[in-house]
Amino acid sequence: MNIQHASIVVITEPQWNKNAEQQAIARAYRQGQEKVVKAWMVYGANSDIDLIVRQVQKRKALVNAELMAPLIREPGEGPAHIELLTYPGFLPLEYDS
């Protein structure tokens, strides 16, 4: 692959971590890129594994969005006050003080 002239990204195997796919696409957007970058995702027809991977990616994205929402601040806002360990499924830890 000639990375200096690449403008098409083809992902043939879905990754459990969606960020790995996004990083592969982002590599085509580099300094001096003048062409339009196209990304193609190829999934197997009737492939149970590909279906499960896509479902896991969607669930992870939803959980990450919910966890990161309190941290997104507008310019000029003070620090976020976050209640830790309130997310369903997390058990509070006992701390000795």
How many whole angstroms separate alpha carbon 65 and alpha carbon 35?
31
Whole-structure pTM over 0.75, yes or no? no
pLDDT, one tens digit per residue, over 27-38 is 887 767 778 888
Placement of tokens 């997310």 in the chain = 87
Delimit the domains of the chain by residue range: 8-71
Task: Give me the sign of the Cα torsion angle 81, 83, 87, 92.
Answer: positive
pLDDT, one tens digit per residue, over 63-80 is 888 888 877 777 777 766
